Amino acid sequence: MKSNRLEAFSDGVLAIIITIMVLELKAPEEPSWHELKSTLPVFLSYVFSFVYVGIYWNNHHHLFQATEKVNGKILLANLHLLFWLSLIPFTTSWLGENYTAALPVALYGFDLLMCAIAYFILQGIIINFHDSDSVLKDAIGKDIKGKISLVIYVMGLLLSFYNTWISILCYMLVALIWLMPDKRVEKNMI
């Protein structure tokens, strides 16, 4: 089985997830600065999730760049990843309206954590399937970024019950780790 249809389907789902979130950004009732400002938390949570889904699309793109053939397990692991990603519009919407409450912040982090774990599983299955193919394995390397992300997500999730701003900073930190690659890191670990 070739990977191109899997990529096309994933692209479709990711494109819809990233765009559907904007439907939560309701136009303010009145044309005033005050009303516009009140949409700011929802807007910022949209920006945040857009960046996250963008990073996932980016990494997914890199991962399947090196993957030519797929099997049934890879299809399932990919659907599993898409499932957790598809919940981002829901967790984003709750976060945007309640960014100072522990539960929505924790749930947002939990979904990010599950996405990361699902990505890990998918990556592992792909490496296993291409074991002779050392290019992919080398490219992913020790995946230090991926492992650090998991730890920070768990920290953010737990800290949300103490202070939600620290949690949000944790989630931002992970996004920054993936957005600002230093060359050396990029070469060794994607």
As separate numbers, helices (DSSP H) first and strands (DSSP E) second, the chain gives 10, 0
Binder to its own copies among 8, 148, 166, 169 (CB under 8 A)? Answer: 8
Q: At what angle do helices 164-179 and 102-129 cross, to 10 degrees?
A: 30
Tell me the two tokens of residue 28: 């303010």
What residues from 165 to 184 belong to the interface with its own copies (CB under 8 A)? 179, 181
| DSSP sequence for 83-102 | HHHHTHHHHHHHHHH-TTSH
Per-residue contact flags (x/-) with its own copies for residues 96 to 125, judged by CB under 8 A: -xx--xxxx--x------------------
Q: Does 188 bind its own copies (CB under 8 A)?
A: no
Binding segment (CB under 8 A) for its own copies, from list 83-91, 124-132, 139-147, 168-176: 83-91
Shortest CB 187 distance to its own copies, Å: 12
Shortest CB 164 distance to its own copies, Å: 10
Per-residue CA distances from 93 to 37, 104, 105 (Å)? 17, 9, 11
Q: What are phi and psi of 167, to 5 degrees?
A: -60, -50
Burial class (CB in 10 A: 0-12, 13-18, 19+), 25: middle
Q: Does 163 bind its own copies (CB under 8 A)?
A: no
Q: Which residue has the tokens 């060794």?
A: 188
- By the criterion CB under 8 A, which residues form the site for its own copies? 1, 5-9, 11-20, 22-23, 25-28, 30-33, 36, 47, 50, 54, 57-58, 61, 65, 72, 75-76, 79, 82-83, 86-87, 89-90, 93-94, 97-98, 101-104, 107, 179, 181, 186
